[in-house]
Amino acid sequence: MKRILLYLKPLKKRLVIGLFIKILGTVAELFIPFILSYILENVIITKDPNKIIFYGVIMAFCAFIAGAGNIIANRMAAKTTMVFTSAMREELFSKTLLLSARATDKFTIPSLESRITSDTYNVHNFIGMIQRMGVRAPMLLIGGAVITFLMDKTLSMVMFLMLPIIFITVYSISKRGIPLYTRVQNCVDDMVRVVREDSQGIRVIKALSKNDYENRRYDKVNKSLCKEETKAGTIMGIANPVMTMLMNLGIVAVIAVSAYRVSENLSSSATVIAFMQYFTLISMAMMSLSRMFIMYTKCAASAARISEVIDYSDELNIISDDGKGDKDNIISFENVSFSYLGKKNNLENINLSLKKGQSLGIIGATGSGKSTFIKLLLRFYDANSGVIRIEGKDIRSYEKEELSSLFGVALQNDFLYADTIEENIRFGREVSLEEIKKGAKIAQAKDFIEEIPDKYSHVLSSKGTNLSGGQRQRLLIARAVCKNPKILILDDSSSALDYKTDANLRLALKEEMKESTVITVAQRVSSVKNCDLIIVLDDGKIIGKGTHDELLSSCVEYREISDSQMGGAFVE
């Protein structure tokens, strides 16, 4: 909670003003029963209409101040809560984008989504409620107790006997809420995961008629969530009825004692009427406090989950370069090994180097470590051993922005968003329309774009579903090449292209990006055969390295892939 409440510091001026207005309104509300008691005891017996009207006007004025003060303070609280939540969500979302791949794997995408949505909503509700009721309820409780004690000590003691019992009961129930609501939010994570998977795979689900199967999957996580919500709601729901019962018992005891005291002329009926009004205010305050306790348990559970992400310490620290690299090499891998889980190496003893402007092809079976190689080069993860260098400098010594600026990347499962083709290629960078058109030309996307009536202003649907797979891939390649990066990575990004378009793409890259180092990850030999260096990966190890002709003679696996795909011959 401490980490979350830091967002309120910039809003302290608004909070203080709102607090002052809320106090003013609550004090006015506390005076109303007291004035009523005074009228009944001291004013009515005078039978003076002017006095009655005068005190009646004072009561009305207090009522107006109480109502207006609460309305103004509540509106300010709503505004403050909105600004607070907006700042919290913005930082949480920003931190989510900056998390390393390992941290993202740890939290999981569905959990991060629910933290940004439902967890921030729980905190939002509590911060709003604490501003509306966090001042008013204690003031009504304490102020009402003090005034009633001054009015009639005996009756107030009857009421005070119930308050500790109520507080202990509510506190005992509420403290169980944090672990309960933490489990609820974990179940929300599971449900978000299933919904996310189904929304992304809806076409496959329909094509294979797996609606019933997915309904059962969703039903399973939904029932689990319902079970945890029911358990939390049942336990936390005990607080209100128990407190109401105790308060009603207190009212019965007060009425019984007050009836005796009035009959014995120890108290007056006016005092009893005022006392019952104060008791009602105190009851309402206790109800509000119990709701705040319940909201706090939800908020505390959610705040802990939010702080866990915001306070997460990135393991990808910046270190000093050892100065041992060869600056003539644009990329070098020196005895690099890596494991995702720390048990079996996903890459082992990788050694290679590339000069500026050279091209690298990576080929291998599914699961051989091709994409892991790219993830290490982009520093999504750090190698467990060995060193990766760019321009002779350890990639761990680069600032994130500096490192990312070296790359242009097109991944097979990259994304397009609901905006124009121009903005999808620009991707929020400072790129001119001329550079965008040049990138589209290199990526072989120019022809189909210019056939569309709106051309580069054509609006894509989410994920670019109003384009074909090949068209989407060409836009992603255009995005990668339009800034003329030092290192261009094409990770299986031409799998949906026909051979002719793929060949034209390779030719355009060779002619237009002579200064760039191009790394191509592919399943097709035709996509890598013209690279200056080709590595063949198998089970995380390099089993072949060289040019296309060298590998045909030296690497059996490469030769088998070539023969199986093209019958040993290539069509240019």
**Which pLDDT tens digit goes with each residue over 57-89?**
998 998 999 889 888 988 888 888 888 888 888
pLDDT at 405: 86
Q: pTM of the prediction? A: 0.70
Q: How far is CA 172 from CA 169, 231, 273, 525, in A?
A: 5, 16, 33, 68
Share of the chain above pLDDT 90, in %: 3
Lay out the sheet containing 359-364: strands in order across.
407-411, 487-491, 517-521, 359-364, 533-538, 541-546
Q: At what angle do helices 433-442 and 499-512 cross, to 10 degrees?
A: 130
Lay out the sheet containing 329-338: strands in order across.
347-355, 329-338, 385-390, 393-394
Distance CA 290, CA 437 (A): 62
Query: What is the rounded average pLDDT for all residues in the chain?
Result: 83
Residue 558: count of CB within 10 angstroms of its CB: 25
Residue 116: count of CB within 10 angstroms of its CB: 17
- Tokens for 120? 């921030």
pLDDT at 217: 83
Residue 551 has pLDDT above 50, yes or no: yes
Highest mean pLDDT among 104-113, 153-162, 492-501: 104-113
User: Which whole number is the average pLDDT over 437-449?
Assistant: 88
Per the model's pLDDT, the better-predicted residue between 543 and 565 turns out to be 543
- Tokens for 412? 């097979």
Q: What is the pLDDT of residues 180-229, one digit of tens each?
A: 877 888 888 888 888 877 776 776 777 767 778 888 888 888 888 888 88
Q: What is the pLDDT of residues 269-289, one digit of tens each?
A: 777 777 777 777 777 777 777
The CATH class that applies to domain 2-195+227-310 reads mainly alpha
pLDDT at 561: 82
pLDDT at 515: 82
Q: Are 270 and 40 in contact (CB under 8 A)?
A: yes
Q: Are 319 and 383 in contact (CB under 8 A)?
A: no
Q: Enumerate the domain spans of the chain.
A: 2-195+227-310, 316-406+533-566
- What does DSSP say about strands 329-338 and 385-390: parallel, antiparallel, or unpaired? antiparallel
User: Which whole number is the average pLDDT over 453-461?
Assistant: 86
Residue 492, Cβ density class (10 Å: 0-12 exposed, 13-18 middle, ≥19 buried): buried
Residue 175 has pLDDT above 80, yes or no: no
Strand partners for 359: 518
Distance CA 203, CA 201 (A): 6
pLDDT band, very low/low/confident/very high, at 568 (cuts 50, 70, 90): very low
Residue 571 has pLDDT above 50, yes or no: no
Per the model's pLDDT, the better-predicted residue between 155 and 448 turns out to be 448
pLDDT at 387: 92
pLDDT band, very low/low/confident/very high, at 566 (cuts 50, 70, 90): low
pLDDT at 43: 80
Residue 572 has pLDDT above 60, yes or no: no
Alpha helices in 429-543 (DSSP H): 433-442, 446-451, 469-481, 499-512, 525-528
Distance CA 133, CA 290 (A): 11
Residue 570 has pLDDT above 50, yes or no: no
User: What torsion, rounded to 10 degrees, do the Cα atoms 208, 213, 218, 220 define?
Assistant: -160
Residue 296 has pLDDT above 60, yes or no: yes
pLDDT at 174: 67
- What does DSSP say about strands 487-491 and 407-411: parallel, antiparallel, or unpaired? parallel
pLDDT at 567: 59
- What does DSSP say about strands 517-521 and 533-538: parallel, antiparallel, or unpaired? unpaired
Residue 555 has pLDDT above 80, yes or no: yes
User: Which whole number is the average pLDDT over 362-388?
Assistant: 88
Distance CA 247, CA 253 (A): 10
Share of the chain above pLDDT 70, in %: 97
Residue 169 has pLDDT above 80, yes or no: no
Report which residue type is found at 489: I
CATH homologous superfamily, domain 316-406+533-566:
P-loop containing nucleotide triphosphate hydrolases (3.40.50.300)
Residue 569 has pLDDT above 50, yes or no: no
pLDDT at 337: 92
Residue 209, Cβ density class (10 Å: 0-12 exposed, 13-18 middle, ≥19 buried): exposed
Report which residue type is found at 511: E
User: Which whole number is the average pLDDT over 326-341?
Assistant: 88
- Tokens for 88? 């919290």
